[in-house]
Amino acid sequence: MNSFASEWANWLPERRCALNESIIELNAENFEAEVLQSEQPVLVDFWAEWCAPCRMLAPTIDEIAENYSGRVKVGKLNVDDCGAIAARYQIRGIPTILVFSGGEVHEQMVGASSKENIIRMVDKVAATEATA
């Protein structure tokens, strides 16, 4: 195993299920209340444990959750555990980020992206929410 693969393998177990306090672990039981009925905009990260780009995006999602705490909810939904919800939103590739406001999808991004692009997307929805 080369050094990059070795470092990646060592890093993976620590990140696998480590949701920070600002991130809501979404599932079939709480999706409606936490996302669709939320009074705040909600960023939902559709991911899976086996998805390398999802793992690479995780620190960015963590940082956004901390920086937007109190203004925007951030949740992660494991597509392997919640396939019906992923199907409802036609999630065909992961990572996929949807930003909900008023129970509807307002922004969508498929694939790993830069923190700046995700922030721009969240700010757009949050600004619209603030003027509504």
- 54 is known as an active-site residue: yes
Query: What ranges make up the beta strands (E) of the chain?
Result: 23-26, 42-47, 73-78, 96-101, 104-110
Cα distance from N-terminal residue to C-terminal residue, the chain: 54
Q: Are 44 and 57 in contact (CB under 8 A)?
A: no
Catalytic residue among 23, 54, 58, 72: 54
Look at strands 73-78 and 23-26 and give their pairing.
parallel
Identify whether 51 is a catalytic site residue: yes
The single residue of 44, 51, 82, 122 carrying the catalytic annotation is 51
Strands 42-47 and 73-78: parallel
Phi, psi for 21 (deg, rounded to 5): -65, -25
Please identify every residue annotated as catalytic: 51, 54
